[in-house]
């Protein structure tokens, strides 16, 4: 039978155990509360775009925010261009024919860049509509003889100006945004995608299949470019213009093309300074060589610019031009200018865009399979 002293010991023992259990329970409750609060904080921060473990922003949230900010930055300078023309049918009835395109403002007093094919009709009247609801009568100030570019002029003051970026910095897979007057109806429509490729070449054709011009060095993107987007900006996530939307592949989905903004900068600078687009000229007629053309014509190289005549009224070498003065002849193949090879990524046309009339250049060419060099001074293209 237990003694009184042993009962007291058991009671003290039980009391001590209960105290320890209670202490553990309190610590567990406090620990759970703290852990829950910390966990909730981490989750909240992760969903808000910040990972407290890595210290990095959530990529999806970051890109979405950057896209919104880029669009907000560029949108005030993006304009819709509407053309109107009175046309008469065979019965003498007249109707108004309209067209649409896009552009962006490059000077606060009203110079607007767009595609040349957007304003190619000399009989049409053009109006520019800004994001704030205003509209202006526009006149075609300049057209680029080397590229699908044109500059319009409107009578404006303190207009928002687009920030021009550096298209040479673009990387394959980089996120880009296209903005334009989709279908000539939906102003400042935004689509997103990536840079799919660079240095693409294509023959641009109009709505009825007529050839408009050869385009080279283009940016390819999967950002949707619809009818009416022509002339609008392709921008990066900093809201800077890196390209000018110009064409789509008609037989495919989401294959669009833009002129790199760096190819347009010399034309833009020329208009701002002189009021027109001044381009240099060699004074030659040529076609770019390809492997098939070289093989078919038994030529020694499959790159370069082959100088050829189209007939008595269209000689390979323009009389009195720089090429004639430098001694170039029909059937010569220009393979480099200032040691820059002419190839698929660097056409003669694109290389010349980096020069101005009055610049002296060294021409490397082949004649009878022998490499030769000559120098000439570029003149202004008329």
342 CA to centre of own chain:
23
* Beta strands, E only, the chain: 78-88, 94-105, 111-114, 125-129, 135-143, 150-154, 175-182, 186-205, 211-221, 233-235, 241-248, 256-260, 280-281, 286-288, 305-307, 333-337, 340-341, 360-367, 370-377, 379-380
Catalytic, out of 148, 222, 263, 332: 148
Best CA proximity match to 180, nearest among 137, 241, 262, 89: 241
CB 224 within 8 A of CB 254: yes
**117 counts as catalytic:** yes
Q: Could you confirm whether 169 is annotated as catalytic? A: no
Residue 65 annotated to the active site:
no
Q: Which residues pair with 57 in a beta bridge?
A: 50
Exposure of 50 in the CB half-sphere (CA atoms within 13 A): 6
Q: What is the chain's length?
A: 382
CA atoms of 52 and 56, how far apart (whole Å):
7
Catalytic residue among 75, 83, 117, 224: 117
Would you say 85 and 123 are in contact if contact means Cβ atoms under 8 Å apart?
yes
**Residue 167 CB partners (closer than 8 Å, separation 6+):** 219, 242, 243, 260, 261, 262, 263
Choice among 80, 167, 224, 230 that is catalytic: 230
Within 10 A of 174 (CB to CB), how many other CB atoms are there? 14
Residue 156 token pair: 């404006």
Q: Show which residues are catalytic.
A: 117, 148, 230
């Amino acid at each position: 039978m237990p003694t009184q002293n042993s009962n007291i010991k058991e009671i003290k023992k039980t009391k001590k155990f209960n105290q320890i259990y209670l202490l553990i329970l309190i610590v567990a409750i406090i620990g759970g509360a703290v852990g829950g609060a910390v966990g909730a904080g981490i989750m909240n921060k992760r969903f808000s775009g910040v990972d407290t473990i890595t210290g990095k922003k959530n990529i999806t949230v970051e890109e979405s925010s950057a896209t919104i900010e880029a669009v907000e930055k560029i949108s005030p300078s993006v304009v819709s261009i509407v053309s109107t023309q009175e046309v008469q049918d065979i019965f003498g009835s007249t109707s108004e024919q309209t067209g649409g395109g896009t552009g962006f403002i490059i000077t606060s007093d009203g110079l607007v860049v767009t595609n040349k094919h957007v304003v190619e009709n000399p009989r049409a009247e053009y109006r520019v509509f800004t994001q704030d609801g205003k509209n202006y009568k526009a006149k075609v100030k300049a057209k680029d003889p080397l590229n699908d570019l044109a500059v319009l002029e409107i009578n404006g003051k303190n207009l928002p100006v687009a920030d021009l970026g550096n298209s040479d910095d673009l990387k394959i897979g980089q996120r880009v945004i296209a903005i334009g007057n989709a279908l000539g109806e939906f102003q400042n429509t935004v689509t997103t995608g990536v840079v799919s490729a660079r240095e693409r070449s294509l023959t641009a054709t109009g709505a009825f299949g007529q050839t408009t011009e050869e385009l080279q060095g283009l940016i390819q993107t999967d950002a949707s470019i619809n009818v009416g987007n022509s002339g609008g900006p392709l921008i990066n996530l900093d809201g800077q213009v890196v390209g000018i939307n110009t064409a789509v592949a008609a037989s495919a989905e989401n294959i669009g093309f833009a002129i790199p903004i760096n190819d347009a900068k010399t034309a833009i600078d020329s208009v701002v300074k002189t009021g027109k687009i001044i381009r240099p000229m060699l004074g030659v007629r040529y076609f770019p060589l390809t492997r098939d053309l070289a093989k078919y014509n038994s030529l020694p190289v499959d790159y370069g610019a082959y100088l050829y005549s189209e007939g008595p009224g269209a000689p390979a070498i323009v009389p009195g031009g720089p090429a004639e003065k430098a001694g170039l002849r029909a059937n010569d193949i220009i393979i480099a200018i200032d040691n820059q090879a002419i190839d698929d990524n660097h056409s003669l046309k694109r290389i010349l865009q980096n020069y101005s009339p009055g610049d002296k250049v060294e021409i490397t060419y082949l004649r009878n399979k022998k490499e030769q060099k000559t120098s000439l001074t570029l003149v202004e293209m008329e």
